[in-house]
């Protein structure tokens, strides 16, 4: 078994794209292999017996290169494709490249001269600067590094432009994969040819909302294909177009969130449906992209203000990301949430919501809960909390649970709903049988019509 190593020493996007470029060439030659993401390098394990001299690279027509942003123009693409074709037509070049990454012996590539540092892989235009202590500048790179990174970026990344605001490219960071995966999310049908083509320019909501939609749809796709465990994260590159060359913007790295299918589906609806309040949509998108404590609490408060509900399943999935699920499941939180929900439905608890949002001290929370208990008792002639519940609440505070956490979880509990579980029980009915009434054990009281002599009552 042979191993190729792409060391992580310079630009992380460049190194990942080189790994994807090598993997793409191997798969085009029907070689059984696996790409693994190690701490110090990307490792490609080759299981078949191979002779690098026999490798070839498929032709890459200019028309198919449509997933690159405006950091590279059409004339630059044409020139680069011509150079790539010329370089890889030489069998010795392919042999040298694969032998170099197998042995890391620099004498093999000593005949190649370093060229300019432009990589043409999206916003990571320079070969150094992202991980280096130096300021970004054009470091000279070997031509095969430029060609491989371009090929890897083309085969593995996708691209969309949000009107004239920003251009977004995304690239999956692998954990262990056997083939290159490109996820295209937006497409249309060509009316003339009937061919399905990728859509590169869309009009959507704000950048944050669109980015969260892309993020959630990619996770949903990976979950559906049961390959989410094969990837560590998603790298998103953003470029802001200008009149001349576009401005280099940001590279964001997102982890693959461990959310179930129902929560993914609901969150996607929250960020895509036009019926969802715009503030709630933005708060949801911000929480999805950065699922920390502050983003979650801002989302909860926006939902409460706009009367936007969320399913209990999705709420628990989001709380799980911040380790709040145990606190949320406490009986006292559930009781307070249900009590507040009942008061709000009867239009008597809006002031309590405002007070919970503005709690600063422990005394404030105790005062709000006392007011809630009195109001609940006054309206429904029953007590909301018992002594055990109050002891549980004080125990949570003594255990170090933040006041802000408790107040927001009470608000969340008051604003969630449980999905109905439909039981599809098949009941077979014979000609004279109708299981209508049951006894204490669940057995039918009357097994046929003749046994039931009093099916109707005279109510006159």
Give residue-wise pLDDT tens across range 107-155. Answer: 999 999 887 655 656 444 443 433 444 455 556 788 898 899 889 988 9
Q: What angle do CA 144, 147, 149 make, to 5 degrees?
A: 105
Looking up tokens 């040298």 gives: 96
Burial of residue 75 (number of CB atoms within 10 Å: 0-12, 13-18, 19+): exposed
Name, in order, each residue with C-beta under 8 angstroms of 206's C-beta and a sequence gap of 6 or more. Answer: 282, 285
What burial class does residue 284 get, using C-beta atoms within 10 Å of its C-beta: 0-12 exposed, 13-18 middle, 19+ buried? buried
- Distances 162 to 106, 170, 183, 218, 365 between C-alpha atoms, Å: 43, 14, 18, 18, 44
Residue 107 is given by DSSP the state G
* Helix (H) / strand (E) containing 377: helix 362-380
- CA 364, 370, 372, 378 dihedral sign is negative
pLDDT attached to residue 429: 45
User: CA neighbours within 13 Å on the CB side: how many for 189?
Assistant: 2
- Domains of the chain, by residue range, sit at 2-255, 261-417
Confidence of residue 313 (pLDDT cuts 50, 70, 90): very high
Query: Is 61 exposed, middle or buried (CB count within 10 Å of its CB: 0-12, 13-18, 19+)?
Result: exposed
**Does pLDDT of 309 surpass 60?**
yes
Report how far residue 335's alpha carbon sits from residue 112's, in angstroms, rounded to the nearest whole number.
Answer: 72
Torsion angle of the four alpha carbons 224, 225, 226, 229, in this order, in degrees rounded to the nearest 10: -110
Confidence class for position 434, pLDDT limits 50, 70, 90: very low
| Average confidence (pLDDT) over 268-293 | 94
Which among 239, 218, 240 is positioned nearest to 228, based on CA atoms? 218
b/e per residue 236-273 (b: at least 16 CB within 10 A):
bbbbebeeeebebeebbebebbebeeebbebbbebbbe
77 by Cβ neighbours in 10 Å (0-12 / 13-18 / 19+) ranks as: middle
Q: Alpha carbon 78 to chain centroid distance?
A: 34
The mean per-residue pLDDT over the stretch 85-112 comes to 93
Q: What is the pLDDT of residue 380?
A: 92
pLDDT tens digits for 3-19? Answer: 999 999 877 888 999 99
Q: DSSP labels for 166-197?
A: EEEEEEEEESEESS-------EEE-TTT--EE
The DSSP bridge partners found for residue 35 are 44, 177
pLDDT at 448 over 50: no
Per-residue pLDDT of 16-62, as tens digits, reads 999 999 999 999 999 999 999 999 999 999 999 999 988 988 877 77
Cβ 6 vs Cβ 18: under 8 Å: yes
∠ CA(50), CA(55), CA(58), 5° rounding?
140
CB atoms within 10 A of CB 442: 6
- Supply the DSSP string of 320-345, one letter for each residue: HHTT-HHHHTSHHHHHHHHHHHHHHH
119: closest CA among 47, 85, 68? 68
pLDDT tens track for 375-423: 999 999 999 988 898 899 889 988 888 999 999 999 999 999 887 655 5
Q: Please check whether residue 156 is in contact with residue 172, taking contact to mean a CB–CB distance below 8 angstroms.
A: yes
pLDDT mean across residues, the chain: 83
Consecutive H or E run containing 280 = helix 278-289
**The pair of three-digit structure tokens given for residue 389, joined into one six-digit string:** 């519940």
Q: Which is it for strands 416-417 and 310-311: parallel, antiparallel or unpaired?
A: parallel
Would you tell me the crossing angle of helices 12-28 and 91-103 to the nearest 10 degrees? Answer: 120
Q: How far apart are CA 152 and CA 375, in angstroms?
A: 64
Q: CA distances (Å), 82 to each of 64, 85, 120, in order?
A: 14, 5, 15
Q: Collect all residues with Cβ–Cβ distance below 8 Å to 278 and sequence separation of at least 6.
A: 205
């Amino acid at each position: 078994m042979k191993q190729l190593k792409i060391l992580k020493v310079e630009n992380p996007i460049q190194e990942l794209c080189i790994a994807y470029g090598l993997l793409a060439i191997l798969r085009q030659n029907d070689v059984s292999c696996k790409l693994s993401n190690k701490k110090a390098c990307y490792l490609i394990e080759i299981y078949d017996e191979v002779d690098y001299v026999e490798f070839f690279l498929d032709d890459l027509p200019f028309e198919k290169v449509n997933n690159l942003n405006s950091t590279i123009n059409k004339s630059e693409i044409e020139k680069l494709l011509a150079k790539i074709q010329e370089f890889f037509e030489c069998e010795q070049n392919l042999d040298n490249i694969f032998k170099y990454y197998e042995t890391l012996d620099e004498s093999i590539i000593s005949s190649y001269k370093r060229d300019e540092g432009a990589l043409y892989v999206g916003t990571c235009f320079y070969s150094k600067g992202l991980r280096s202590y130096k300021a970004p500048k054009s470091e000279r790179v070997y031509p095969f590094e430029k060609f491989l990174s371009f090929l890897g970026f083309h085969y593995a990344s996708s691209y969309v432009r949000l009107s004239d605001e920003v251009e977004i490219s995304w690239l999956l960071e692998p954990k262990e994969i056997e083939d290159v995966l490109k996820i295209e999310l937006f497409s249309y049908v060509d009316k003339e040819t009937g061919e399905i083509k990728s859509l590169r320019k869309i009009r959507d909501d704000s950048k944050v909302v669109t980015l969260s939609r892309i993020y959630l749809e990619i996770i949903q796709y990976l979950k559906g294909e049961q390959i989410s465990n094969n990837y560590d994260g998603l790298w998103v590159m953003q470029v802001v177009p200008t009149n001349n060359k576009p401005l280099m913007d940001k590279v964001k790295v997102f982890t693959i969130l461990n959310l179930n299918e129902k929560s993914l589906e609901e969150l996607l609806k929250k960020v895509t449906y036009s019926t969802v309040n715009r503030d709630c949509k933005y708060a949801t998108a911000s929480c999805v992209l950065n699922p920390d404590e502050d983003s979650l609490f801002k989302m909860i408060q926006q939902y409460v203000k706009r009367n936007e509900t969320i399913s209990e399943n999705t709420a628990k999935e989001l709380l799980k990301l911040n380790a709040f699920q145990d606190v949320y499941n406490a009986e006292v939180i559930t009781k307070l949430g249900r009590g507040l929900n009942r008061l709000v439905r009867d239009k008597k608890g809006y002031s309590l919501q405002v007070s919970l949002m503005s709690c600063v001290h422990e005394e404030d929370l105790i005062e709000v809960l006392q007011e809630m208990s009195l109001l609940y008792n006054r309206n429904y002639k029953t007590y909301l909390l018992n002594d055990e519940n109050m002891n549980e609440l004080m125990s949570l505070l003594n255990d170090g649970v933040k006041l802000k956490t408790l107040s927001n979880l009470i608000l969340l509990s008051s604003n969630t709903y449980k999905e109905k579980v439909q039981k599809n029980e098949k009941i077979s009915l014979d000609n004279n049988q109708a299981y209508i009434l049951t006894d204490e054990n669940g057995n039918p009281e009357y097994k046929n019509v003749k046994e039931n002599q009093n099916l109707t009552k005279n109510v006159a």
